[in-house]
Structure 1
Amino acid sequence: MASVVRELRDLRPAGVVAPGCTNCPVMDRCGGLQSGLPLFTCFDLNCCGKADCDNVCLRHPSYQERLRDIQGFGSSGLGPLHQRPMTLPRYVPMIHHGNKRDQPLCCEVAAIDPYQIMRVKESRYRAIVSDPAELRRKFKLADDTKIILRGTAKDKPLERYWQYRRRDKVMDALLPLKVSLFIGPNFSQFLDVPRTDNLYNRKRQLLCLSELSAAGISVAPHLSATMPADWKFWSDYLSDNSEVDHVAFNFQTGYRNFKQGMIALRAIESMQQSLGRPLSLVLIGGAQYLGEASSIFDRTTLIDSAPFVKTVKRQRMVETPTGKRSWQRSRTAIGQPLDDLFVDNITQYTDWVNFQTVTGLN
């Protein structure tokens, strides 16, 4: 029966909350499951009953222990989020390393993976750079480039950060780097797990952001949502944190699907209206949504690594006779640095992003 249910179900919000959710002890935090199988709760659909399961489940023996670990699912007791005023450009390039380049890249703002500047060494989680100048030398960036730490990543580096952050005082290691913004970690939000697992991971992000903010680092939340009630949570949370203008959303996973991506954009638009203040939306990936996003929000910023990845693959962005842009192969000599190709790709890509944003086209 379970296998049949898994094949038939559609866990995307379907407008009907499962009746069994009414008496659930976490209903006030969760808001209920809306699936294509309304007779089933998230535990009916997704609880495997195994003691070695990693999911945070109401029926798991470790549930109370993990709940205590995050001090409950709610946001009460967390310190306020502090976000310094900052004007972001339409496009921020993601820089993964400084290899194959000789000269510092001159750009207004660049994004870096924070987990690439932290390493476990001698059983301690430590920063591999000690000051702003060393950070920029490591990634070959100009001295005046502002740095965004893009906290969204795959599970392994996220879990490593979570494991060591307090014991090794990661916040104190990041503060001297004087980054301009830290975008919150995107702990997994799956559709095929008990809702308590999503609530747990949402709270983990809030704890990380609160700790960073308390240390003096400017932060931006990553909006994670799978059910309508999640958007209500974020609306209430941002209402309590009025300093926050920049919010991020990751379009690189389940929201690559255009229909689902548009649902998310409309939900953020509705949240902006209920807040009564404009939000600056940072799109993590999701270049295909630039036109739609710019028609909804006054300020949008795309962070992706397209120019970086294409440069490493020796490809150049060029304008075709029809006015469109495409990536074409660009040979380089053995040992030739990629500085010129990288700068040209960032310039062309930035122009393309600006065009999509201004015209509302994709």
Structure 2
Amino acid sequence: MTRRAPQEPTRDFKPSHRLRDDAAFYAPSLGCGGCPDFKTCGGLHTHAGVFDCNDFCSCEDRAACDSVCRNKPDQFFERYLEIGGFELEPTPRVAALETPALPSVIPLIGHKYSRQSVLNEPVVAVPLYELFHMGSGQPHVRTRAELAERFRIPETATVVASGVDRDVKLEAWWAFADRELIMSTLRDLRIALVTVPNFSLFLNVPRSDNLHSIKRIALGWAELMAAGIPAALHLNARTDQDYTRWMRFVQERSEVEIVAFEFRTGAGVPSRIDWHVDRLCQIADVAGRPLTLVVRGGAQVLRRLKRHFGQVILIETDAFARTLKRRRAEFTESGRLRWPRISTPKGAPIDDLLAHNIVTKRTALQLSDFAPTADSERSARNARRSAQHADGQTRQGSFLAELDATLEARAVPANLERVIVAAET
């Protein structure tokens, strides 16, 4: 049996969806009322039957545990002070910043490997953590020319930096000591928009760890905005209370004009995605102004989100990822997108394949998720297609009628004992 790492909880709550919080279905945990963080946290409402979130503190080696937990008083106090408490209200106020007009679909370009030419796309997204060395915090690129060369994109391209990535990179970003160097580099690179690092809110950790991550998201957003770098506030949440706090934060701060969300992991599972979408739409409805939402994943809910947000922007990752796996996007006869594998010579560049996949994927999204189907388009799409060999007829003729005409002309014998006739449709 594989042993858990000493810093991970030893208690298992399987299936994991028992830890999802839903105040509409489950009673509050009995031990939450006396917690000093209850007013901020709101308590837990889960199917797991935990007394309070301290039930998640079960690490074999607390010295190796990196969760923000009150059972490690010294470390907890240090982590608590670094963010100035769990409340969002003390987050510094900043001025609103103007952002350039962005299209509804922006392709993510992860790197330049296996490519030789410049990608002809006027607006692209790149990983925020590919701009800096994750160990030292030193910039990989310092000028627009170096940025263009690193990703093989036009030097004049509008660039969005996406802060969604693995936790190890997010934590490295938070630990960078020279913050002014980070901010000045992003300004020099003229990054059009940064989506704030989406610090994780795990289900099987004490709530203090979640509250710490939420506050870091708010502080990270304020830091970028104060430095003159347009930023999208990432609305990461685990409970209804978390969303209520974000709702109040957005409503009270008119400088929040762009928010972000990531559907590609836990929030995007079919049994949970509607719960998150409902609350995102509520935030947009009470904001009192049009909000722009930048998302990764969640193509199936984009139409619904568009009805509540002023603009929904998708950072599209499929085209780049599938190109690396040598898959080519193509439409089927029914209008669906498929990705068959293709063969390429060893060492051959994939520039043309990437360009094709970006255009095709964007077209598919614009025809479906971003453009509600008109009645005329729906009728045309559902209309019966004429047969390929119908001799110019608008529909395939009856087989029996054709057979009768043939028999009358005596083109075939009239003995039908060995003929199997299909039913007319």
Q: Is the shorter-chain TM-score for this pair beyond 0.5, marking a shared fold?
A: yes
Equivalent in the alignment of 1:76: 89
After TM superposition, give the deviation of residue 306 of structure 1 in Å. Answer: 0.8
Letter in 2 for 1:174: L
Deviations 1:310-350 (Å, cap 9, x if unpaired)? 11222111111122110112332333322211111111100
The within-5 A match list for 1:82-231 is 82-119=96-133, 124-166=136-178, 169-231=181-243
Structure 1 gap ranges (5+): none
Structure 1's consecutive aligned runs of 4 or more residues displaced over 6 angstroms after TM superposition are: 2-5
Q: Give the 3-state SS of the residue equivalent to 1:74 in structure 2.
A: coil
Paired positions, count: 357
Equivalent in the alignment of 1:31: 42
Equivalent in the alignment of 1:313: 325
In the alignment, the residues of structure 1 paired with residue 245 and residue 177 of structure 2 have an alpha-carbon distance, to the nearest angstrom, of 25
**Structure 1 stretch 324-333 or stretch 30-39: which is displaced more?**
30-39
Letter in 1 for 2:126: I
Letter in 2 for 1:115: Y
Equivalent in the alignment of 1:350: 362
Choose 1 or 2 for highest CA Rg.
2
After TM superposition, give the deviation of residue 308 of structure 1 in Å. Answer: 0.7
Deviations 1:139-187 (Å, cap 9, x if unpaired)? 1111221111101110111111111144673222222111000101011
Structure 2 gap ranges (5+): 1-8, 379-425
User: Quick one: structure 1 residues 41 and 330, their matched pair in 2 at CA, closer, same or farther if it must change by over 3 Å?
Assistant: same
Matched, 1:48 2:58: yes
In the alignment, the residues of structure 2 paired with residue 301 and residue 51 of structure 1 have an alpha-carbon distance, to the nearest angstrom, of 42
Equivalent in the alignment of 1:12: 20
Q: Is the 8 A contact 2:125 2:315 kept in 1?
A: yes
Q: Give the 3-state SS of the residue equivalent to 2:103 in structure 1.
A: coil
Q: Is the 8 A contact 1:127 1:174 kept in 2?
A: no
Greater helix content: 1
After TM superposition, give the deviation of residue 295 of structure 1 in Å. Answer: 4.3
Matched, 1:238 2:250: yes
**Identical residues among aligned pairs (%):** 32
Letter in 2 for 1:207: L
After TM superposition, give the deviation of residue 96 of structure 1 in Å. Answer: 0.6
Letter in 2 for 1:99: Y
Q: Give the 3-state SS of the residue equivalent to 2:329 in structure 1.
A: strand
Letter in 2 for 1:134: E
The one of 237, 253, 261 equivalent to 2:273 is 261
After TM superposition, give the deviation of residue 235 of structure 1 in Å. Answer: 0.9
Q: Is the 8 A contact 1:126 1:168 kept in 2?
A: no
In the alignment, the residues of structure 1 paired with residue 307 and residue 232 of structure 2 have an alpha-carbon distance, to the nearest angstrom, of 22
User: Quick one: structure 1 residues 86 and 173, their matched pair in 2 at CA, closer, same or farther if it must change by over 3 Å?
Assistant: closer
In the alignment, the residues of structure 1 paired with residue 22 and residue 88 of structure 2 have an alpha-carbon distance, to the nearest angstrom, of 27
TM-score, L = length of structure 2: 0.78
Q: Give the 3-state SS of the residue equivalent to 2:137 in structure 1.
A: strand
In the alignment, the residues of structure 2 paired with residue 305 and residue 320 of structure 1 have an alpha-carbon distance, to the nearest angstrom, of 21
Q: Give the 3-state SS of the residue equivalent to 2:47 in structure 1.
A: coil
Equivalent in the alignment of 2:297: 285
Letter in 2 for 1:6: F
Q: Is the 8 A contact 1:317 1:349 kept in 2?
A: yes
**Structure 1 stretch 4-13 or stretch 32-41: which is displaced more?**
4-13
In the alignment, the residues of structure 2 paired with residue 37 and residue 267 of structure 1 have an alpha-carbon distance, to the nearest angstrom, of 23
User: Quick one: structure 1 residues 354 and 298, their matched pair in 2 at CA, closer, same or farther if it must change by over 3 Å?
Assistant: farther
The one of 228, 250, 270 equivalent to 2:282 is 270
**Structure 1 stretch 78-87 or stretch 255-264: which is displaced more?**
78-87
Greater strand content: 1
